Amino acid sequence: MGSSKKKGQQRKAAKKALAAAAASGGGEDSTVDGGGSNSKIVAKIRSGDNKTTKKLFTAEGMASLSFISYEHSGVLSVVLQFLKRCESETFDGVMNSVGGDLKSPLLWIRVLVTASYVEPSCKLQIAQNIGSLISCMVNDTERRFFKSSKHWRQGIVRFFNLVMNIMETKEKDALENMQIVEALLQHEGLLRFIIQWIFWTEYRPDIVKELKSEDFLRSTIIRLSGRLIEMLVLSSGMKGEGGNWLLEIGSTPIVSKEYDPNFMLSYTAKMVNQLKETKEKKHKNVFKMVRRLIRDADCVDKGVITEMIDWGTNCVINYDDALKVGILFLDWIYQGAGNRYSNDTRVAFAIREGLIEMCLGFIKRFSEHESFENDDELPMHDVIRCILYGVNNISLHEKTAKAIRNKRSSIKEKLVRLEQDIIEGIEEKLLRNGKDNSLLQIESILNLNGSYCCRCNKSLSKTEVMQCNGCHRMVYCSRACQKEDWLNGHMLACCSTASNETAGTFQGRYWPERVPSDERAATKLKEIEINMNMIQLKLFLDRSDTIRRQAKDLNLPLYDCVVLFDLRECPPTVNIEEYTESFGVEDEIEGFEESRSKDNIMCVYHSRMYNRSSRDELSMQRFFPHEWLKKQGK
């Protein structure tokens, strides 16, 4: 650290010297490209003169030169021109071309470091013109600068200094700096490089070895680059372009692909990992950053999910910790249900990794906590409820449904055990509040994600499933059930035999009206329809009592009823309306009149359908015989 302190003093002295030079001898030289000593200096720098170049970054040197300005004298342009040659030429080659005796290209970087420090107005020009330098430096596997690894090794720490100087932000001139930061970060690979920098000691023994002589590396580079990224994450979003950095920062792998193509841990995942590993509270900013990355830039990859669930399942030590995990999941899943669109693949992955069990664990461990249900800010009870709500919203989608089916027995087992504890009064608080509604939600999610015969409601295993050959949307346990369903209405509705009009009217899907032309979206729709068809009868039977009670309260004959199931709620709600209320348009009432019979009751099912770029409602209809309802009730 002694050396960096010394450097600080040197810089201060340099700044002073520059100011002094400007005040005293600068009179006749202060115009742009002024003649006199400054133009001689520029000529010497241009010819690669070692002695003069060296003087440009020490206080004494600058004072002795009566040097005025890096920018206005033209020195800056000359140095930047030299550095532009670093990708395609060797340093010796460049020196030969100008006949100079400069010892190392490192000196040019040092000129820029000093210039950016003592003359901040240089920053933008430097930021815009060091593309070649950056692309040499950020290539941390080849590690060549002016085609030499020795030059790279010598230059890297100064290069780091330079980046830090340019990016340095003081609160009050943040806006000006943002422009500079943007100019700098537009160079391909720099942001990624700074992020990976933070983790060099941990993951890059090759670089640590190469830079062994630079003890500066471990402590300073890593700490400062970490702080720089932190600043970018926490400050971006206030400025328009910041959002782009968030996404790039959050999804950057912390080890470069060229070094290890199999290493996938992203910056966000690594930050969650740090939260998980530390038992101290000093990581407040890390939590803030992770929230930002997840909520504002949707930086949630598989690694992030795995780390979050492992944290919540195996590592939380207290209520506050668990609440943090919950909030991160809430940030993620809620934006899925809100502005952004839920992603079947990621929710399915979270469920396979144990998201629902994690929630059950929280209920078991923390339901006695004083803030579990009542907290001024956000009680865990609400957090869990919203997470489950989010899962429910996408649970009829193919991958999520499949993940839930696979997890069914293990979740069920935990659920039953927890329910027994409630009954036995071990979980007193849950008992006091009746059955906790998070548990009802989980039960409902499990219930809605089984496979059932569309005709007899028999629960089906994978091998038993038989699809209707016409529409591939109805699923049966046997030929007998398929035939029976065919003769009792499906013949009219199955898309292979009926016209679109009949098919859509009172059996099957009625919203969206058309199959999307995008093939992927069409496949998704079909998958959700199958899952929806399989549970229609089950819902009807499970809620028999409610349906009959409501019909009775409304004093409606069953054939005049429309039963509305809202699967967007968890558990789904059931509401009965008279058909004249449900169908507004004359034609529709007429259509209903024609197709209904004294024996059937009509059910309508509302759910959601998410696709990459859209969210839509999915509504389907089915008739069921009244008889079935009564049977169940007895």
Contact positions vs Zn ion (CB under 5 A): 453, 455-456, 458, 468, 470-471, 474, 477, 481, 494
The 3-class secondary structure across 456-482, one letter per residue, is CCCECCHHHCEECCCCCCCEECCHHHH
Smallest distance, Å, CB 594 to Zn ion?
22
Query: Cβ closer to Zn ion: 226 or 470?
Result: 470
Smallest distance, Å, CB 432 to Zn ion?
42
Query: Cβ closer to Zn ion: 264 or 456?
Result: 456
C-alpha to C-alpha distance for 109 and 83, rounded to whole angstroms: 8
Exposed/middle/buried for residue 52 (C-beta within 10 Å: 0-12, 13-18, 19+): buried
Peptide bond into 512 cis (omega under 30): yes
CB 183 within 8 A of CB 126: no
Instruction: Work out the angle between the directed axes of helices 222-235 and 149-167 (0-180°, nearest 10).
Output: 40
Query: Cβ closer to Zn ion: 286 or 522?
Result: 522
Smallest distance, Å, CB 605 to Zn ion?
17
Query: Cβ closer to Zn ion: 163 or 493?
Result: 493
Query: Cβ closer to Zn ion: 195 or 474?
Result: 474
Query: Cβ closer to Zn ion: 78 or 477?
Result: 477
Q: What is the DSSP letter of 83?
A: H
Smallest distance, Å, CB 473 to Zn ion?
6
Query: Cβ closer to Zn ion: 288 or 483?
Result: 483
Query: Cβ closer to Zn ion: 55 or 455?
Result: 455
Cα dist from 35 to 30, 38, 284, 622, whole Å: 9, 6, 55, 91
Smallest distance, Å, CB 359 to Zn ion?
33
Q: What is the DSSP letter of 143?
A: -
Query: Cβ closer to Zn ion: 359 or 453?
Result: 453
Q: Which residues fall within 8 angstroms of residue 293, CB to CB, at 6 or more apart?
A: 233, 246, 249, 250, 267, 268, 271, 299
Question: In which region does residue 611 sit, left (phi positive, over 0), alpha (psi from -120 to 50) or beta (all else)?
Answer: beta
Exposed/middle/buried for residue 75 (C-beta within 10 Å: 0-12, 13-18, 19+): buried
Smallest distance, Å, CB 521 to Zn ion?
21
Query: Cβ closer to Zn ion: 153 or 455?
Result: 455
Query: Cβ closer to Zn ion: 290 or 534?
Result: 534
Look at the alpha carbons of 175, 176, 181, 187 in this order and tell me if their dihedral is positive or negative. Answer: positive
Smallest distance, Å, CB 491 to Zn ion?
9
Smallest distance, Å, CB 452 to Zn ion?
8
Smallest distance, Å, CB 501 to Zn ion?
16
Smallest distance, Å, CB 541 to Zn ion?
13
Element (H, E) at 532: helix 519-542
Smallest distance, Å, CB 632 to Zn ion?
16
The number of helix segments (H) and strand segments (E) in the chain equals: 36, 7
C-alpha to C-alpha distance for 309 and 283, rounded to whole angstroms: 19
CB 625 within 8 A of CB 539: no
Smallest distance, Å, CB 484 to Zn ion?
8
For 238, phi then psi, to 5°, come to: -75, -30
Query: 521: how many CB neighbours lie within 10 A of its CB?
Result: 18
C-alpha to C-alpha distance for 576 and 544, rounded to whole angstroms: 12
Q: Which residue has the tokens 């548990």?
A: 439
Query: Cβ closer to Zn ion: 328 or 477?
Result: 477
Smallest distance, Å, CB 453 to Zn ion?
3
Query: Cβ closer to Zn ion: 386 or 465?
Result: 465
Residue type, 348: A
For 567, phi then psi, to 5°, come to: -80, -5
CB 126 within 8 A of CB 116: yes
Element (H, E) at 508: strand 508-511
DSSP string spanning 164-207?
HHHH---GGGHHHHHHHHHHHHTSTTHHHHHHHHHTHHHH-HHH
